[in-house]
Amino acid sequence: MLDGQAARPFAELSGVSKYFSGARALEGVDFSCRRGSIHAILGENGAGKSTLIKIMAGVVQPDTGTLTVEGTEHKFSRPSDAAKAGIVCVFQELSLMPDLTVADNISISDPPRRFGLIDSKAQRDRAERLLARIHCEDVDPRALIRDLSLSRRQMVEIAKALGKSPKLLILDEATSALTSRDVETVHNVLAELRAEGTGMLFISHRMHEVEAICDTLSVFRNGRHIETFDKGARTQNEIVKLMIGRDIVHKFPPKPPPLVRKPHLAIEGLKWENRLNGVSLSVGKGEIVGLGGLDGQGQKELLLALFGVLRGVEGKVTVGSTAVLPASPADAKGGRNRIALVPEDRKTEGLMLPMSISDNLLAASYDKVSQGPFIDRAKSRQAVGDAVAQLQIKLNKPEDPVASLSGGNQQKVVIAKWLMTDPEILLLNDPTRGIDVGTKQELYRLMRELADKDTAILFYSTDYAELIGCCDRVAVMYDGRIVTEFSGDAITEEALVAAALNITKPVETPERQPVPA
């Protein structure tokens, strides 16, 4: 260990805040990390972990506060600035060019050159060296990235980062795509790097992994740095409690008493690529089933698969007593299926922004307001009027472009569009993201009303409070599978967070203790 270097912080943030279009991502964060240490950063969805590392890696710039590296204040305006100061990040979204070779990618930003031209021999040797360092000798530097498996690509990404000789290496969910063999390799590499004096920030949702390799842990919540402590200083239960904690209390409509329902939508062993690894779930008529878990565990893919967007889905889906696996969204909404999906991103998948509000509302149900090949104007006006009234959409004229509405009202248009198709099964992909509290509460009420009219609702949300407040049952996903289901009073924040982190033992804390802030 390098004692002198390890003692004093390598990088230090003080009073850092960052806002994205008014929404707080980080607020008043003081944080430091040192060399020769593996430092875990923990937090729920939206806790500010990604923003923190993006600031340190020069991807985004803080609105206020300072970043000090080795005693000098820095303002990184691009990732290469951060790399010069010794901070290199392995991002969650891969930064590799699929059509270039492994060697090209590893040396992409500063390839070895001879007479001004790229020296491919030297570049290959360099790739061999770096791949050997992370024990990936089996990766051929001449292979194209697109021919490698996801796990191998991630390893190449790590080799690429090491090629920049980092003093601080940031790993953002870098092990989430790895096979267990590669995970072990990475752990060994990280231990070696630590011994050589490299500092590491390790963002992971896998609790056991954090416990296994990290020295120091920091917990973030709602854009604030809550606490930093040494490994072993707190138990898993305590860590989970630090991660929870909310500012806003939502009001939810009362739930009906729990009852056992006959499955209406039944899913069995659903598989797709490596994102869905055998999902089995059922939703009854009049039931709201929540999908929980951390981001990217296959929740979105599950909804897309049910809506016929994905190709090559395996498994069995039955609605009522007939087997269905829609071939396309048109197939999903039409015929006997009557499935509707409120998509994740309303700006690209939900709305045609320049078109009018009424056209957007009618987009999924033109067949209902048509007379032969022509759209019946009276019928469509009637249908639009009904939808606007039902969801209380605040608008000037239905002929205005939908882009002129506020975010909450835009989302209401998306939902109203699908309600107009009179769905039996409603799939909701994080429908309350980025909308105001008032509209959220209207949506919660609407969901319950629809359920009372026998609609089967499958509801993915990144907000645990919503899952607890709205759902009759919650299924928590991890790594493309459903790991646990909770119903009734068993749906608690502690249970959901623990299940999301795939801590197998349920957290036994009957009463909540105040969390130090």
Partner 1 sequence: MSTVAITTPPRASAIGMSIRQNRGFYGALALLAVLYIVYNLIHPRGFSTNVFIANTNESVALAFVAMAQAMTVIMGGLDLSVGAVMTLTSCIASEMVRGEPWQIVVGCIVSVAAGAGFGLVNGLVIVYGRLQPIIATLATGAVAVGLALLIRPEPGGEVDLDLNWAATNSLRDLAETYHLFEDGEASWFQPIAWFPVPLIILVVIAAAVWIPFRRTVTGRTLYAIGSSEGAAYMSGLPINRAKLWAFTLAGFFAGCAGLYLAIQTGSGSADIPQAGAYTLNSIAAVVLGGISLLGGVGTVIGALVGALILRAISFYFRILSVDPLLQPLVEGVVLLAAVSLGAIRTLRVKNRLELFR
Residue 97 as a binder of partner 1 (CB under 8 A): the answer is yes
Stretch that binds partner 1, among 10-18, 72-80, 276-284, 403-411 (CB under 8 A): 72-80
- Find where tokens 């929870």 sit: 244
Is 94 a binder of partner 1 (CB under 8 A)? yes
Among positions 186-205, residues that touch partner 1 (CB under 8 A) are 187-188, 191
**Sole window of 9-17, 116-124, 415-423, 472-480 interacting with partner 1 (rule: CB under 8 A):** 116-124
* CA distance to 268, 340, 479, per residue, from 314 (Å): 9, 21, 17
d(CA 479, CA 276): 8
Q: With contact defined as beta carbons under 8 Å apart, do 440 and 432 qualify?
A: yes
Cα separation, 379 vs 388, whole angstroms: 14
Q: What track of x and - describes contact with partner 1 for positions 270 through 289 (by CB under 8 A)? A: --xx----------------
Is 95 a binder of partner 1 (CB under 8 A)?
yes
The span of 95-103, 334-342, 409-417, 484-492 binding partner 1 (CB under 8 A) equals 95-103
Q: Residue 446: which region, alpha, beta or left (left: phi > 0; alpha: psi -120 to 50)?
A: alpha
Q: Which stretch binds partner 1 (CB under 8 A): 38-46, 139-147, 251-259, 484-492?
A: 139-147
Supply the minimum distance, in Å, between the C-beta of residue 14 and partner 1.
Answer: 26
Helix segments in 431-510, DSSP class H: 437-452, 464-470, 493-500
Q: Is 370 in the site for partner 1 (CB under 8 A)?
A: no
Which of 91, 202, 444, 478 is close enough to bind partner 1 by CB under 8 A?
91
135 binds partner 1 (CB under 8 A): yes
What residue type is 58 in one-letter code?
G
Tell whether residue 137 is a contact of partner 1 (CB under 8 A): yes
Strands 481-487 and 322-323, by their bridges, are unpaired
327: Cβ–Cβ under 8 A, 6 or more apart, which residues? 308
Spatial separation of the C-alpha atoms in residues 65 and 13, rounded to whole Å: 7
Binding mask 466-485 for partner 1 (x = CB under 8 A): --------------------
Which of 268, 349, 386, 479 lies at the binding interface for partner 1 (CB under 8 A)? 349
Comparing CA positions, the residue from 20, 44, 121 lying closest to residue 295 is 44
**Least separation in angstroms between CB 303 and partner 1:** 12
- Given the rule CB under 8 A, which of 7-15, 104-112, 209-217, 429-437 is the region that contacts partner 1? 104-112
Q: What Å distances lie between residue 182 and 158, 176, 179, 204, 208, CA to CA? A: 11, 11, 5, 15, 16
Nearer to partner 1, 310 or 499 (CB): 310
The answer to whether 69 touches 11, Cβ cutoff 8 Å, is: yes
Q: Which of 301, 288, 337, 299 has the alpha carbon at shortest distance from 443?
A: 288
In whole angstroms, the minimum distance from the beta carbon of 312 to partner 1 comes to: 6
Residue linked to tokens 């991002």: 91
Within 10 A of 497 (CB to CB), how many other CB atoms are there? 21
Q: Which residue's CB is nearer to partner 1, number 95 or number 441?
A: 95
State the minimum distance, in angstroms, from the CB of residue 508 to partner 1. 33
- Give the 3-state secondary structure of residue 517: coil
Q: CB of residue 420 vs partner 1: minimum separation in angstroms? A: 22
Q: Is residue 118 a contact residue for partner 1 (CB under 8 A)?
A: yes
121 binds partner 1 per the rule CB under 8 A: no
Q: Binder to partner 1 among 12, 27, 44, 104 (CB under 8 A)?
A: 104
Which of 111, 315, 334, 401 touches partner 1 by CB under 8 A? Answer: 111
Q: Give yes or no for residue 311 binding partner 1 (CB under 8 A).
A: yes
Q: Give me the DSSP letters along 376-436.
A: PHHHHHHHHHHHHHHHT---S-TTSBGGGS-HHHHHHHHHHHHHTT--SEEEEESTTTT--
Q: Which residues are bridge partners to 341 per DSSP?
A: 427
Site of interaction with partner 1 (CB under 8 A):
59, 78-80, 83, 91, 94-100, 104, 108-109, 111, 113, 116-118, 120, 135, 137-138, 140, 142-144, 147, 181, 184-185, 187-188, 191, 272-273, 304, 309-312, 328, 349
